[in-house]
């Protein structure tokens, strides 16, 4: 971790309790995630036992079960974990930059940009054209939307609150176009678009995992190198600058991390971005403020949420395979209302 423990070593004999608590919680969440992945691997429409799954894992070419485990369930589970982690980290970054606890990747147009591009792709080419191109077009849409919001909000520097306002306006406009496209496209494409918008990991493949993984491998360490800058910026731009933070530069780097994480996650899993709103909050409640502790914790929690949402969608309504987005929202919406209820707004 980039944070040294020195804050609490002032020679007064105070122990570093927050750090110990963080390590404990992160370890617990990590173990919970691993066991949940194991559990998810063993559950599905085709009945499999833990022993069979374990055997299939070590002997990949052996059987039908190996095919189910290696080609159907494992990529989907890994993708769920990566998507959840990416959205959670993207949300944590954004909430810290905007200094508003209700921000999520939605508010700067990422999700609606991806949705518009994906739906436009489906409307233009139908489901016939290789669906492999859908993530690429969604990602392009997400990045373009974020760029547009950024340019429109630019005014001798970037003001987060301006960015949110522009983002909300642009999202509404893109949402309208998306709806229009769904209404005028044929039924099959409209249905597919609808499922995509809800957020689904259906038919995830290793190729998707490999498409998403690089974004995480670059963006998460990069944002962690800026953790202390982020903590300083939480005190306000002027204070941060006084402390020697290059505010604009840091903000651009962190925004780029957030946008690419959210954009990539949405590209492969659709509109699950609610995870980006709630996971950082749960994490903050568990480990407190420091950004370097918040990011890994939020990532683990986001991964768990999407993993369980997808598991529920897969097995709770057999033989139907429901989009994970339904369950993310099902958990997320009440929590969101609860947050609204208890958040005391500070003017800002």
Partner 1 sequence: MPSTPAKTPRLTGEALHAGYESRRVLDGVDLAVAEGQLTVLLGPNGSGKSTLLKTLARTLTPSAGRVCLDGQDIHRRNTREVAQRLGILPQGPSAPEGLTVRQLVGMGRFPHRRLWRQDAERDARAIHAAMAYTDVAAFAERSVDALSGGQRQRCWIAMVLAQETDLILLDEPTTFLDLKVQVDLLELLSRLAHEHGRTLLLVLHDLNLAAAYADRLVMMRDGRIVTSGTPRDVFTATHLKGVFDLDARVLEDPETGSPICVPTPRRGARPSARPASPTVDRRCIS
- Chain residues that interact with partner 1, rule: CB under 8 A: 2, 4-12, 14, 99, 156, 225, 228, 231-232, 234-236, 238-239, 241-246, 288-289, 346, 348
- Residue 138 has which token pair? 């969604």
Burial string for 250-289 (b: 16+ CB within 10 Å, else e) reads bbebbbbbbbbbbbbbbbbbbbbbbbbbbbbbbbbebbee
Nearer to partner 1, 134 or 233 (CB): 233
Q: Which neighbouring-strand residues pair with 141?
A: none
Smallest distance, Å, CB 217 to partner 1?
18
Nearer to partner 1, 161 or 225 (CB): 225
Nearer to partner 1, 13 or 47 (CB): 13
Backbone angles phi and psi of 20, in degrees to 5 = -60, -40
- Distance between CA atoms of 78 and 82, rounded to whole angstroms? 6
How many C-beta atoms surround the C-beta of residue 234 within 10 A?
15
Nearer to partner 1, 320 or 344 (CB): 344
Smallest distance, Å, CB 260 to partner 1?
22
Smallest distance, Å, CB 257 to partner 1?
16
Smallest distance, Å, CB 132 to partner 1?
39
Smallest distance, Å, CB 289 to partner 1?
6
- Residue 149 has which token pair? 């919001």
Smallest distance, Å, CB 279 to partner 1?
18
Smallest distance, Å, CB 235 to partner 1?
6
- Distance between CA atoms of 123 and 107, rounded to whole angstroms? 25
CA angle 198, 100, 333 (to 5 degrees): 30
Identify whether the C-beta of residue 212 lies closer than 8 Å to the C-beta of residue 82: yes
Among the listed residues 130, 231, 112, 81, the one whose alpha carbon sits nearest the alpha carbon of residue 177? 112
Nearer to partner 1, 21 or 99 (CB): 99
Nearer to partner 1, 6 or 130 (CB): 6
SS3 content of the chain, % helix, strand, coil (to 5): 75, 0, 25
Smallest distance, Å, CB 12 to partner 1?
8
| SS3 label, residue 204 | coil
Identify whether the C-beta of residue 260 lies closer than 8 Å to the C-beta of residue 294: no
- Distance between CA atoms of 332 and 309, rounded to whole angstroms? 11
Backbone angles phi and psi of 167, in degrees to 5 = -60, -45
Smallest distance, Å, CB 236 to partner 1?
6
Can you state the angle between helices 133-153 and 160-184, rounded to 10 degrees? Answer: 140
């Amino acid at each position: 971790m980039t944070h040294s423990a020195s804050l609490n070593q002032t020679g007064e004999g105070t122990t570093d309790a927050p750090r110990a608590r963080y390590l404990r919680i992160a370890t617990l969440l990590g173990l919970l995630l691993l066991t949940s992945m194991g559990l998810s691997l063993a559950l599905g429409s085709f009945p499999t036992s833990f022993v069979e799954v374990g055997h299939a894992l070590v002997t990949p070419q052996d059987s039908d079960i190996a095919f189910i485990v290696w080609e159907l369930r494992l990529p989907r589970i890994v993708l769920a974990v990566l998507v959840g982690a990416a959205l959670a980290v993207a949300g944590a970054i954004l909430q810290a930059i905007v200094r508003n606890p209700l921000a999520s990747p939605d508010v700067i147009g990422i999700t609606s940009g991806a949705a518009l591009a994906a739906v436009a792709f489906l409307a233009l080419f139908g489901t016939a054209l290789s669906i492999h191109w859908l993530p690429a077009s969604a990602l392009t849409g997400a990045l373009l939307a974020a760029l547009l919001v950024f340019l429109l909000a630019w005014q001798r520097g970037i003001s987060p609150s301006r960015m949110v306002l522009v983002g909300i306006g642009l999202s509404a406009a893109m949402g309208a176009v998306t709806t229009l496209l769904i209404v005028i496209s044929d039924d099959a494409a409209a249905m597919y678009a609808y499922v995509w918008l809800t957020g689904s990991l259906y038919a995830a493949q290793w190729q998707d995992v490999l498409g998403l993984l690089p974004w995480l491998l670059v963006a998460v360490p990069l944002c962690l190198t800026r953790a202390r800058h982020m903590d300083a910026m939480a005190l306000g731009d002027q204070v941060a600058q006084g402390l020697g933070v290059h505010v604009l530069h840091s903000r651009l780097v962190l925004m780029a991390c957030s946008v690419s994480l959210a954009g990539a996650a949405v590209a492969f899993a659709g509109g699950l971005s609610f995870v980006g709103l709630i996971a950082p909050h749960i994490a903050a409640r568990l480990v407190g403020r420091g950004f370097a502790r918040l990011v890994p914790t939020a990532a683990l929690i986001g991964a768990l949420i999407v993993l369980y949402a997808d598991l529920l969608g897969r097995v709770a309504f057999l033989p139907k395979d429901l989009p994970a987005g339904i369950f993310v929202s099902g958990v997320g919406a009440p929590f969101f209302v609860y947050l609204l209820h208890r958040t005391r707004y500070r003017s800002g």
